[in-house]
Amino acid sequence: MARRWTNTLTSADVTPKAAFLNRRQIMAGIGGMAGLAGIGGLPQAAQAETLEPNSWEDVTTYCNYYEFGTGKGDPAKYAGQLTTSPWSVKIDGLVDRPGDYDFQQILSEMTLEERIYRFRCVEAWSMVVPWTGFELADLLNLAGVQAGAKYVGFETLYRPSEMPGTAYRALDWPYREGLRLDEALHPLTLMATGIFGKDLPNQNGAPLRLVVPWKYGFKSIKSIVRITLTDTEPQTSWNMANAREYGFYSNVNPEVSHPRWSQATERRIGGGLFASRADTQMFNGYGDEVASLYDGMDLAKHF
Ligand SMILES: Nc1nc2c(c(=O)[nH]1)N[C@H]1C(S)=C(S)[C@@H](COP(=O)(O)O)O[C@H]1N2
Ligand SMILES: [Mo]
């Protein structure tokens, strides 16, 4: 089966460190070829997994980006006016080389690869997205994480003149998110610069956004301008807005309900009006990779 999106990356672009992940994702991307020979060595689960990406239309027109409005179509309508070049990311806090990192400079230092990930919003809808990007760990290594760092905070651009949604106090701007350092350094944690082999459309968080596939979508903060290494848990926008409903961890978990709805099932975008709901998977299906990060933690308490 042919892949349905333009892709300029080949397996030759894969860094050795990420070879397993990328091969697995490439296999997932050509789902339907499960009988293909020569993939010995991949675990059973990875071989069985087939991920069919959503359409370009789904991914770029059904969005959450409250800086441009709270409607799902607002980002596609209004984010076009956002100036994304030049762009720089301030990396500060507990790092050896703090400073303003130019986006083009960052790109020249990073190895881009494609990752096809499930994406699960806390609102109980889901998609499958073919991202292009690099591991956040590689960017953090560029800045040099100091021994005392325990968390990573992120901030989105706050530019009211180009962001009509910020006229409303839907959230306390700038949009802020955070991860524990071990989550941030996990090889699944991606800094995305593209989808379907093209640059990120503004509505999806151009030019650079986080993707943490085992957590609810709001952790995947868009259009990042600042990354801060800290020794205390950073404040995050959704948690500040409603701590009872949006925890710091926000790992996808079918057994922990949102106070106003169940998280046991999800609606796949693009499935049509009468499509049945899918069962939500623990850690959004990435438990083999990430469950050990939470050994001994009460996931209902640290939701
Ligand atoms: N800055 C910023 N980042 C954000 C959001 C937002 O409103 N502002 N929404 C989050 C939510 S709730 C989701 S589900 C995802 C949506 O990403 P997508 O529109 O690319 O699918 O972005 C997340 N990142
Ligand atoms: Mo979301």
CATH code, domain with 40: 3.90.420.10
Of the given ranges (32-41, 127-136, 138-147), which has the lowest mean pLDDT? Answer: 32-41
Q: Is the CB of 18 under 6 A from ligand 1?
A: no
Length of the chain: 303
Ligand 1 pocket test: which of 222, 239, 242 has the largest number of ligand atoms within 8 Å of its C-beta? 222
Q: Please state whether beta strands 151-156 and 224-230 pair in parallel, antiparallel, or not at all (unpaired).
A: antiparallel
Helices marked H in 1-135: 19-29, 44-48, 56-61, 74-78, 103-109
Assess whether pLDDT exceeds 70 at residue 175.
yes
Domain-embedded: residue 5 = no
User: Can you give the pLDDT at residue 154?
Assistant: 99
What range defines the domain where residue 271 resides? 11-294
Average the pLDDT over 276-285 and give the result: 97
Ligand 1 pocket test: which of 122, 125, 173, 220 has the largest number of ligand atoms within 8 Å of its C-beta? 220
* Cβ 30 vs Cβ 2: under 8 Å: no
Assess whether pLDDT exceeds 50 at residue 11.
no
Domain-embedded: residue 247 = yes
Residue type, 303: F
Domain-embedded: residue 301 = no
Q: Please state whether beta strands 265-268 and 125-135 pair in parallel, antiparallel, or not at all (unpaired).
A: parallel
Cis-peptide, bond into residue 98, ω within 30° of zero = no
Ligand 1 pocket test: which of 63, 64, 169 has the largest number of ligand atoms within 8 Å of its C-beta? 64
Give the distance (Å) from ligand 1 centre to CA of residue 67.
Answer: 10
Of 289, 301, 261, the C-alpha closest to 277 is 261
Of 196, 247, 183, 254, the C-alpha closest to 218 is 247
Average the pLDDT over 147-155 and give the result: 99
Q: What's the number of domains the chain is made of?
A: 1
Domain-embedded: residue 302 = no
Give the distance (Å) from ligand 2 centre to CA of residue 201.
Answer: 17
Domain-embedded: residue 299 = no
Domain-embedded: residue 3 = no
Of the given ranges (15-29, 98-112, 157-171, 252-266), which has the lowest mean pLDDT? Answer: 15-29
Give the distance (Å) from ligand 2 centre to CA of residue 255.
Answer: 18
pTM of the model: 0.87
**Residue with CA closest to ligand 1 atom 15:** 217
Domain-embedded: residue 4 = no
Domain-embedded: residue 49 = yes
Give the distance (Å) from ligand 2 centre to CA of residue 262.
Answer: 15
